[in-house]
Amino acid sequence: MASMTSRERWRAALRMQPVDRLPFWPKIFDKSYMQAQPSPYREMTIAELYGFIKCDPHVPLPACLREVRTKTSVESVTTNGVQKTTYTALSGILEAVDHFDVASGSWHPVIFPVKVREDIGVMVEIFEDCRMELDAEKLEANRKTIAWMGENGSTWTGIGRSPLMNWLEFVAGIEGGQYLLADYPEEVERLFDAMHRVLVRSAGVLTEHSPVDALYMIEDTSTTYISPTQYDRYCKPQISAYGDIVRSAGRPMMLHMCGHLMGLLPMLSTMPADGFEAFTSPPVGNTTLLDGRAACPDKTLVGGTNATLWLQPADSIIAQIEADLDALPHHRGVVISSAGMMPPACHPETIKQVCDWVHAYPARM
């Protein structure tokens, strides 16, 4: 097969088509990884680091969407690494607080906006008043980024999180969210319906206008905090609706799912999604590439490793990846990545050594 560009390689892998070699993507989204490295890597941009590794970047771009409201407001104020978000509706006011972690370069919720039963109705009002529209400025910015990248990688945009996952991760928290869902299911389900309508609209706008190579649902799914029964009721029908919208236009939709998935694989195999990203091996996840391929023969698998593996020497990392790849019936629809974010303790030279090996692996198409 003639040599492919990085973008061509990604686009083919997402559709389970043959590629000239396996794509390799170490997930690095911000400077938090570089700031933990020695010079000269510390001073590099992400693009420069990817160029040094000679990998296949899969770059997230902001969704070209804007919220339109008429009766409510959502306002955030950030001061010294603390972000306070105020949700104002006719029925009440809710507040959320997030703290920024410098080491990981990420925000973490410390106070959730929904704490008690009465808060649920306020959040329903917030979502029922929200309409997603195309943001022309963000669309133009995306186009410029894609033009700048050229064929040196692929791009993707997140549609959002399905209602249950958003509820547990950002609205009510895992413990509080599960208790409220158990105690007041009808009220929480009304909120889920309002969230779902927003996501259906978002999927439609992005499918029509976004110039990226793939659309994602950022699910973070794991049976460590939701059950297969809950997934079947609150995730599968909703995500299937978004998948139908995206795929009916001939565009790929991926699910970012970084947790324990073994108990969900039979269900996932029937859903209108092209594959799963951050597919994580044990001990962080609980599924190997062979588990995924056996249960979901027509889905692309992006991942195949885990954070603890990347703390080992390059030879050990390569040996494990080689064993997992050798076990597969073929290598269509496989992208080797760090699954989760690349651990800062993994040196760039180690990543490059693994990348070179993946590129040379005799993939069977």
**Res. 323: pLDDT tops 90:** yes
**Res. 209: pLDDT tops 70:** yes
Tokens of 29: 């989204």
Mean pLDDT computed over every residue of the chain: 97
Round to whole Å and give the CA distance between 206 and 133: 9
Round to whole Å and give the CA distance between 198 and 261: 26
Per-residue pLDDT tens over the stretch 254-279:
999 999 999 999 999 999 999 999 99
> Torsions phi, psi of 302, nearest 5?
-110, 115
Q: What pLDDT is stored for residue 102 in this prediction?
A: 86
Long-range contacts of 222-230 (CB under 8 A, 24+ apart): 222/257, 222/258, 222/259, 222/260, 222/261, 223/259, 223/260, 223/261, 223/262, 223/263, 223/264, 224/259, 224/260, 225/168, 225/174, 225/178, 225/259, 226/164, 226/165, 226/168, 228/263, 228/264, 228/267, 230/164
Contact 259, 221 (CB under 8 A): yes
How sure is the predictor about 339, in pLDDT bands with cuts at 50, 70 and 90?
very high
Long-range contacts of 1-4 (CB under 8 A, 24+ apart): 1/365
How sure is the predictor about 30, in pLDDT bands with cuts at 50, 70 and 90?
confident
The partner residues of 93 in beta bridges, in order of sequence, read 88
How sure is the predictor about 1, in pLDDT bands with cuts at 50, 70 and 90?
low
Give the mean model confidence (pLDDT) for residues 225-230: 97
Round to whole Å and give the CA distance between 297 and 117: 43
Q: Give the residue from 360, 350, 357, 339 showing the smallest Cα distance to 25.
A: 339
How sure is the predictor about 2, in pLDDT bands with cuts at 50, 70 and 90?
low
Q: What pLDDT is stored for residue 104 in this prediction?
A: 84
10 Å CB burial of residue 144 (0-12, 13-18, 19+) is: exposed
How sure is the predictor about 103, in pLDDT bands with cuts at 50, 70 and 90?
confident
Q: Which residues in 38-57 are b (16+ Cβ under 10 Å) and which e? A: eeebeebeeeebbebbebbb
Give the mean model confidence (pLDDT) for residues 342-351: 97
CB atoms within 10 A of CB 177: 22
CATH domain 6-69+130-360 topology: TIM Barrel (3.20.20)
Angle between helical axes of 185-209 and 236-248 (0-180°, round to 10) = 10
Angle between helical axes of 46-53 and 348-360 (0-180°, round to 10) = 50
How sure is the predictor about 305, in pLDDT bands with cuts at 50, 70 and 90?
very high
Domain positions in the chain are 6-69+130-360, 71-112
Per-residue pLDDT tens over the stretch 108-149:
999 999 999 999 999 999 999 999 999 999 999 999 999 999
